[in-house]
Amino acid sequence: MTAAVEITGASKTFTTRSGPVHALTDVDLTVGRGEFVSLIGPSGCGKSTLLRLIGDLLQPTTGTVLVNGKSARQARLDQDYGFAFQQAGLLDWRTVRSNVELPLQLHGVGRSARRARAEELLALVGLEDFGGHRPPQLSGGMQQRVAIARALAESPTLLLMDEPFGALDEMTRERMQGELVRIAGETGAAVVFVTHSIPEAVFLSHRVVVMSPRPGRITDVVEVPLGARTEDTREDPGFFAAVTAVREALRGRPAGDVGQRLKDVRSAL
């Protein structure tokens, strides 16, 4: 079975007035089916660029990007993935329901099938009572849930998310993280998730990919061996161990093995 995402030797160089900028150099990354991978790093490390390469919003200068074994472009045309941005990006003149229906409408799904799917998705994100509202009437968190429902509309095997909870307050954010983990589990979709937040990355992911700038590159990959996530996970010693490991990796120290670190913590207790 092919991987959800397979990137080999990918680089991206932008030419600007002040010379070339190496946004991304020599990136190799594989994301398995149903795997949740976060990209984390400081501004300018190329994590959004990497996500955009996978989504075919940008094309690599060198190297290859395969999604479900196809080129990124083909995967985009086949709609193998759903995309959620930092802003919800909803169309204010459409109702919440018809915003969720939009990708189905774009790809020629009939009216009644569209409607039924939209109701299903709104129930999934807990907004079944808001289908007739317009986006400006909703809070930021609710708008973002609509955007996630929209990204899930065509049952993609891959979700690409660019700091979707970046603009939300901490409480809403944690609730949304819980829902995203549940949704990813229920749909079995692989997720590539860009974030600035270490706890967010750790809570959500099977693996955290740590990146650093100038030139943008992957410096470390931290495995997070925590089983099924619940709200209690946030207070688990293993959670803190993984957070520490990612923080160390971001500071440029080798992250080591989280499992080993966890054993150390447990024995110290």
Partner 1 sequence: MTAGVTRRGLGFLGRAALVVAGLVALGLAWEGYKAWAPADGVSVGGVRLLPRTNDAAMPHLSAVWDVLQEEQVATTGAISFGPRPTVLHGLVEACGHTLGWAAMGLLIGLVVGALLAVLMDALSLAERALLPYVVLSQTVPLIALTPMLSRWGNGWGLLGWHWTKVTSVEVIAAYLAFFPVAVGLLRGLKSPSVVHRDYFTVTAAGWWRTLVLLRLPAAVRHLVPALRLAAAAAVVGTIVAEISIGQPGGIGMRILDYSQVTGNSAKLYAAVAGAAVLGLLAAAAVTVVDLALWRYHRAGASS
CB of 240 to partner 1, least distance (A): 34
State which residue, 30 or 139, has the beta carbon closest to partner 1. 139
Residues that bind partner 1 in the complex, under the rule CB under 8 A? 55-57, 76-77, 79, 81, 83, 85-93, 102-103, 105-107, 134-136, 143, 160
CB of 105 to partner 1, least distance (A): 8
State which residue, 161 or 209, has the beta carbon closest to partner 1. 161
How large is the angle between the packed helices 170-187 and 140-151, nearest 10 degrees? Answer: 20
State which residue, 134 or 175, has the beta carbon closest to partner 1. 134
* Assigned token pair, 30: 């594989």
CB of 200 to partner 1, least distance (A): 20
How far apart are the C-alpha atoms of 205 and 39, rounded to whole Å? 10
CB of 104 to partner 1, least distance (A): 10
Q: How far is CA 97 from CA 16, 90, 244, in A?
A: 41, 11, 41
CB of 147 to partner 1, least distance (A): 8
CB of 144 to partner 1, least distance (A): 9
How large is the angle between the packed helices 111-124 and 140-151, nearest 10 degrees? Answer: 130
CB of 179 to partner 1, least distance (A): 19
- CA angle at residue 160 from 238 to 117, to 5 degrees? 110
How far apart are the C-alpha atoms of 20 and 251, rounded to whole Å? 26
Q: How far is CA 95 from CA 120, 123, 149, 246, in A?
A: 16, 16, 14, 41
Residue owning tokens 């946004």: 23
**Residue 215 DSSP one-character state:** T
How far apart are the C-alpha atoms of 125 and 127, rounded to whole Å? 6
- CA angle at residue 3 from 176 to 248, to 5 degrees? 55
Assign 98 to helix, strand or coil.
helix
